Amino acid sequence: MKKVLIRISIILIIIICIIMGLSQSHKEEVKVSEEEVEVEQNKQDKQEALFDAYYELAKEKLKTMTLDEKISQLFLVRYPEMNQLEELQKYNFGGYLFFAKDFKNKTEEQVKDEIANLQSVAKIPLLIAADEEGGKVVRVSSNPNLAEKPFESPRDLYISGGFEKVAEDTVNKSKLLNNLGVNLNLAPVVDVSTNPNDYMYQRALGEDTDLTSIYSSTVINASKGLGVSYTLKHFPGYGNNMDTHKGSSVDNKSFEDILKYDLPPFKAGIEAGAEAVLISHNVVTSIDNERPASLSKKIHDLLRDELEFTGVIITDDLDMGAIENEEDSAVKALLAGNDLIIVSNYEEAIASIKLAIEQGRVSEDDIENANLQVLEWKYFKGLM
């Protein structure tokens, strides 16, 4: 009898152990399952892009385009001196970038008619861009026929009226640009620059990181619903670097300082809903000591992955002095992760992309991924 009881006890212990093991296993499975759901949800949240609602429309549009049209859509072209309509019909650019000379002495009606004519011949509606920062850079309002006076610099606005005046100024800029047909402003400058001797100081707010971050979000929020997109520049922050229009510029700040001081204004603008970010030509050694930011995949990955930016990434002008010695800069810009490439010499840039495709260095998928971003943006903007 004693042996029987011992056997029964052993069996019961074994059964209890099995039940406990199954229960623990189930708990672990539930825990793993919950963790997987959370990871997947975070992944989905992160992937919910600014223009996602227009993905299918953009994808369908892409199917109707030739390879040449897809290549041409990559470029925001500096407005040519002549034959603008003919060149547009030939190449079908993503957009035209106007400078002060393109507005000089023209009346409001002349500018509106000129831009309307461009849009009328474009197979895909154009981005019409200008740098209307205020202060030193006033491509449009420098013409007294178009504005009563040039827009003030960010610093002057802030000193005289704080962020309330900054917001009011953004609304006024947007109304002026939208009325003319300009739908993209390559502003605001959200570089942190507090030294009056810095090249970028007069174009920036001239205040610290916290105030520049508020400036960034103020402009983006004020610009919404007025028909003009704004562009945060110059990622990942210009700081005290030299003028990249004239030559190479190297930023030797530590990565920790860039994270702490330079990136927050971009993050603030992105969280406010910025649709575009423009990349500088500075070589930022703590991130990529081999290539200018505009041609660096590491810089673009930082913007996409760390700042979770899902909008359109634009290069600074590839014909600027800082990268004039870079071979195949348009190809490198595309492969780095830019969606829109600013160029003056568009014929050379387009030819280099075509050659890279023939040589297998660039795939049609590379072209289409950038195209999708720009097409989605154009649908989002109501241009299509």
Q: Where do the domains of the chain lie?
A: 1-47, 53-380
> What pLDDT score was predicted for residue 27?
43
For the cut 60, the answer to whether the pLDDT of residue 140 exceeds it is yes
CA 207 to chain centroid: 23
Residue 33's pLDDT band, with cuts at 50, 70 and 90, is: very low
Rounded mean pLDDT of 198-208? 94
Instruction: Quote the CA–CA distance of 62 and 274 in Å, as a whole number.
Output: 24
The distance between the two most distant Cα atoms of the chain, rounded to a whole number of Å, is 114
Residue 320's pLDDT band, with cuts at 50, 70 and 90, is: confident
Instruction: Quote the CA–CA distance of 308 and 49 in Å, as a whole number.
Output: 9
> What pLDDT score was predicted for residue 323?
81
The residue type found at 32 is V
Please write down the long-range contacts of 7-11, taking CB distance under 8 Å and 24 or more positions apart: none
Instruction: Quote the CA–CA distance of 20 and 26 in Å, as a whole number.
Output: 10
Instruction: Quote the CA–CA distance of 152 and 159 in Å, as a whole number.
Output: 11
Contact (Cβ atoms closer than 8 angstroms) between residue 376 and residue 58: yes
For the cut 60, the answer to whether the pLDDT of residue 291 exceeds it is yes
> What pLDDT score was predicted for residue 12?
54
> What pLDDT score was predicted for residue 214?
98
Instruction: Quote the CA–CA distance of 43 and 66 in Å, as a whole number.
Output: 33
> What pLDDT score was predicted for residue 28?
43
Of 86-100, 240-254, 257-271, 341-355, least confident by mean pLDDT is 240-254
> What pLDDT score was predicted for residue 11?
55
Contact (Cβ atoms closer than 8 angstroms) between residue 353 and residue 74: yes
Give the list of residues 6+ apart from residue 133 with CB closer than 8 angstroms, or none.
151, 153, 154, 186, 187, 188, 189, 203
Rounded mean pLDDT of 167-171? 98
> What pLDDT score was predicted for residue 238?
83
Which two three-digit tokens encode residue 34? 């919950």
CA distances from 324 to 107, 144, 273 (A): 35, 34, 33
> What pLDDT score was predicted for residue 324?
76
CA 26 to chain centroid: 46
Three-state secondary-structure class, residue 162: helix
**pTM as predicted:** 0.86
For the cut 70, the answer to whether the pLDDT of residue 34 exceeds it is no
> What pLDDT score was predicted for residue 337?
98
Rounded mean pLDDT of 351-373? 97
Assigned superfamily of 53-380: Glycoside hydrolase, family 3, N-terminal domain (3.20.20.300)
Give the list of residues 6+ apart from residue 312 with CB closer than 8 angstroms, or none.
275, 276, 277, 339, 340, 373, 374, 377
Instruction: Tell me the pLDDT tens digit for each residue of 328-340.
Output: 999 999 999 999 9
Q: Find tokens 């920036």 and name the residue.
A: 204
Backbone angles phi, psi at 330, to 5 degrees: -65, -40
Residue 347's pLDDT band, with cuts at 50, 70 and 90, is: very high
Per-residue HEC secondary structure of 49-65 comes to CCCHHHHHHHHHHHHCC
User: ∠ CA 132-134-140 to the nearest 5 degrees?
Assistant: 40
Give the bridge partners for 315, in sequence order. Answer: 279
Instruction: Quote the CA–CA distance of 368 and 20 in Å, as a whole number.
Output: 55
Which two three-digit tokens encode residue 35? 């963790």
> What pLDDT score was predicted for residue 14?
53
Instruction: Quote the CA–CA distance of 183 and 383 in Å, as a whole number.
Output: 9
Instruction: Quote the CA–CA distance of 75 and 211 in Å, as a whole number.
Output: 34
Rounded mean pLDDT of 156-170? 98
Rounded mean pLDDT of 109-132? 98
Per-residue HEC secondary structure of 62-116 comes to HHCCCHHHHHHCCEEEECCCCCHHHHHHHHCCCEEEECHHHHCCCCHHHHHHHHH
DSSP 253-287: --HHHIIIIISHHHHHHHHTT--EEEEP--EETTT
Question: How are beta strands 276-279 and 184-185 bridged, if at all?
Answer: unpaired
For the cut 90, the answer to whether the pLDDT of residue 113 exceeds it is yes
Among the residues of 95-238, which ranges form H helices? 100-103, 108-121, 154-180, 209-223
> What pLDDT score was predicted for residue 250?
86
For the cut 80, the answer to whether the pLDDT of residue 70 exceeds it is yes
Which two three-digit tokens encode residue 152? 């003030």
